[in-house]
Structure 1
Amino acid sequence: MHESEMEGIRARDPETDYLQDAYIAGDMTTDEMIAALDRHYKPQVKRSHESPCETAARLRAEMGIELKEGVSKPLPKAAYDEMWGEDQCPSAPTRD
């Protein structure tokens, strides 16, 4: 495979650059290149299937952040009204 055939790989990170350079130099076979890229990218692909709550929980765990009790409870409507000045905004038009 020539260098021009490798142009499909455009991920810009040091690991991918290293693998691509090793492949072009003939230091690894196509199968080795595919296996190495799979090992490198599979954790990232697996994460894309996480729900937003799972991602937030994983990131909190990685950073050692603990939620305080009651943090996940939604605010009451009055809190949003106060925050956005609901009483100061003109009311929405109504249908007759």
Structure 2
Amino acid sequence: MTSHYFGELVQRRLRTVSITEAIGMATKNTTKRPDQSETPMQTADRLRRKHGVSLSETASRPLPKSVFDTMWANTTDDGSSDPAR
């Protein structure tokens, strides 16, 4: 089934459904799916494993405040980096 054909089917179906019914269908489809959410920590762990990256003890420690202060000092008002600073 091509995406164009599928799009036509969806449009045809939506023309016969009220907004209330559409919201109900969307809610029903959302609640039918199993909960596959993961925490940000789990996502980071999964991506590290996928790409073969491991955290060293050094990488696990937060950077000192001075690093962030320097980074923000080198940023312009619009958020872009200003290497001249």
When normalised by structure 1's length, the TM-score is: 0.37
Q: Which has the higher contact order (CA 8 A, sep 6+)?
A: 1
The higher radius of gyration belongs to 1
When normalised by structure 2's length, the TM-score is: 0.41
